[in-house]
Every structure is written in C-alpha cells, then in structure tokens.
C-alpha cells in the first residue's frame, strides 16, 4: 500500500490547469501547421495563421489561450494500492482547480444553472474517477469551453440504424454546429453503453493524442478516417469562413450496449484542445 497525501493531488491539479490554459500541446500545433499548408482556401489559411500566432503569443507571454478558460473536467485513475491521506480526493481536486483559476487570473465560468449565480472559483469540477491496478494516480486535466460544448449531442439510435446511422448523426451534428464551436475542431464520438456513458466516452476520446487512430479496434480506426473525410467536405472551414479544414481529427471510443439500444454521443472540441496529464 502506497500512501499519497491529498496535498500532492491539489498541487498537481493546480499546476496542470495553469499550464494547459496557456500552452497548447505539440500534437495540436502540428496538426494546425499541416492544415495551414494543405488548406486551399486563402481566407482559411489566413485564419489558421492567426490561430497559430495566438498560440505563440499565449506561450511567450504566459497568457490564456482563450478568454473562455473552461469548466474543469478531469479523468482520474486511482491505483487500488493507493491510500490517500489528509483528506478527500474530490475536495483536493476542487482545491487545486480553485487555486489555479485564482493564481492564474483565469475566467471563472461555473454558475448555478437556474439562478446563473457564479460560484466564484470555477468549482465544482467535473471528475470522472476510475479504480485501476497499481499504486499510482493518473490525472488528466481538460478545461472545456462552453461554445464547443453547446454544440455537442447525445442521440439514442435504434440498432437498425447501424454504422450508417452513426455516421449520419456525427455529420449532422457538425453540420448544425457550423462556425459556432470555432473550427477547426476535434470531434469526440462515444458509441454504446448507456446515454451517460456514451457521453463520457466521447469526452474521453478528446483526451487522446490528436489524430492517433483507435488502437483497440480497427473498425473504429476506419470509422474515424471516414468521418474526418466526410466532415472536411462540408465546406465549413476554419472559423466558418469556408475551406477544407473543418476538423483536425475524429476520435471514436466504444463499449458494449443493450440489445435494444445504440447510444451515440458527439462531443465537439474547438481548436484550443487543452488537456494535460500527470502521474503521481
């Protein structure tokens, strides 16, 4: 049994959100650079240049990549041989989020759904916890902006809809979203499980290294490629100004579902695809 103080978790969460709010991953930067070269639309290339310029300014000046610094989403894997000391896991994560948004002067975007009163510190975070083997804790921090989240969908298809129905649902979601989620986007797709687990799968898919094909099922890797090609023929383009770069990648995750169901969730992520992980 390995003992870990919750204070270490708080410090780790704080550092993750401070860094990911300002520094975009090399995988996303690389994909944007490639898109700038391949984009045929002159206006689309100009938009991509401005996006890349913004990323560089944020890194050099230690400024947030976007004014929407997001709702704090975390995927946390806790080893079954870990014993936490000094407090509660969720409380320690919320404290790390609280400190990051305070110390980094990040916009606090969490409010009561009905009164719309701001909680004042960007908590509570959305925490997805999984118990795994080992004596380590893996934390993935994902600040998720509201604009792209608002364009996401969950649809309970029928089994007879099959793969073609899944493709139709994803493409229609992206088409309806248009310029609203600040394309080029990353599209996370969750298939199977129940209504809520399909949405979690779609969110989790966004945490993968950009453009890495699904390595667990060749059917899903092929589906990702098909969806990306179809999305990029919609003509929405960078920031909705037209072009061939509507999405940078499509990531699909899947789990078994009920014989009477086919849940499909589409979680859209803007080009500011912020996520970073740490292992304690």
Condensed to tens digits (0 to 9), the pLDDT of residues 135-147 reads 999 999 999 999 9
| CA neighbor of 62 nearest in space, from 11, 104, 121 | 104
End-to-end CA distance of the chain: 14
Q: Give me the pLDDT at residue 211, please.
A: 79
Residue 156 in this model has a pLDDT that exceeds 90 = yes
Asked if 178 contacts 246 with a C-beta cutoff of 8 angstroms, the reply is: no
Domain ranges of the chain: 2-20+65-144, 147-273
Q: Say how far apart CA 24 and CA 255 lie, in whole Å.
A: 30
pTM (2 decimals)?
0.95
Q: Give me the pLDDT at residue 228, please.
A: 98
- For the chain, what percent of residues have pLDDT higher than 70? 100
Q: Say how far apart CA 252 and CA 215 lie, in whole Å.
A: 10
Asked if 39 contacts 238 with a C-beta cutoff of 8 angstroms, the reply is: yes
Q: Give me the pLDDT at residue 212, please.
A: 86
Asked if 201 contacts 192 with a C-beta cutoff of 8 angstroms, the reply is: yes
Q: What is the pLDDT of residues 173-225, one digit of tens each?
A: 999 999 999 999 999 999 999 999 999 999 999 999 997 899 889 999 999 99
């Amino acid at each position: 049994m390995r003992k870990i103080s919750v204070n270490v978790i708080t410090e780790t969460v704080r550092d993750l959100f401070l860094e990911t709010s300002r520094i975009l991953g090399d995988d996303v930067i690389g994909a944007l650079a490639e898109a700038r070269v391949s984009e045929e639309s002159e206006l689309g290339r100009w938009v991509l240049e401005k996006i890349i310029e913004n990323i560089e300014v944020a890194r050099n000046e230690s400024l947030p990549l976007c004014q929407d610094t997001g709702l704090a989403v975390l995927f946390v894997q806790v080893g079954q041989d870990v014993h936490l000391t000094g407090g509660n896991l969720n409380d320690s994560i919320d404290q790390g989020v609280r400190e990051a948004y305070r110390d980094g002067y990040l916009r606090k975007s969490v409010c009561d759904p009905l009164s719309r009163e701001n909680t004042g510190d960007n908590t509570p975070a959305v925490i997805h916890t999984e118990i795994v083997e080992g004596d380590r804790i893996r934390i993935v921090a994902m600040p998720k902006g509201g604009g792209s989240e608002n364009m996401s969908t969950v649809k309970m298809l029928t089994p007879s809809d099959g793969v073609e129905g899944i493709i139709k649902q994803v493409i229609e979601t992206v088409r309806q979203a248009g310029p609203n989620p600040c394309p080029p986007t990353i599209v996370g797709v969750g298939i199977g499980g129940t209504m809520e687990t399909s949405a979690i799968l779609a969110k989790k898919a966004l945490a993968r290294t950009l453009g890495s094909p699904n390595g667990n099922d060749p059917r899903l890797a092929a589906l990702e490629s098909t969806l990306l090609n179809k999305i990029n023929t919609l003509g929405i383009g960078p920031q909705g100004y037209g072009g061939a770069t509507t999405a940078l990648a499509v990531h699909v995750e899947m789990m078994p579902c009920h014989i009477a169901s086919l849940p499909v969730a589409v979680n859209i992520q803007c080009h500011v695809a912020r996520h970073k992980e740490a292992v304690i």
